[in-house]
Amino acid sequence: GYFYSVWAKCIYSSHDFSDMVYIDSYIFNKDVYIQFNSTVGEYVGYTEHGVYNARNWNSDPNILQSERAEVERYCKYNAEIRQAAIADKT
């Protein structure tokens, strides 16, 4: 069988979320073959297929704009909810 998954991660350590990074990884058979990192601002391919897809996806400004917006739309939004629900209750 084959194993395919997509993992979206938000990584941060500051309470004001100023160091937040969004990472979107595409994995096939436990190997990351392409990844978007918000600090890089574009896709990076790690295999021949990943490099091919990265080239295509990076040439589409709509895809890049959508991925770059995920830090605000997905990461910070959810982190603020969790911060208010968990950490601020002490």
Give the model confidence (pLDDT) of 9-43 as tens digits. Answer: 999 998 899 999 999 999 999 999 999 999 999 99
- Non-local (6+) Cβ contacts of 36 within 8 A are 22, 23, 24, 42, 43, 44, 67
36-84 pLDDT per residue, tens = 999 999 999 999 999 999 999 999 999 999 999 999 999 999 999 988 8
What is the Cα 14 distance to its own chain's centre? 18
Which 3 state secondary structure label does DSSP give 35?
strand
Contact 47, 59 (CB under 8 A): no
Reported pTM: 0.88
Residue 10, amino acid: C
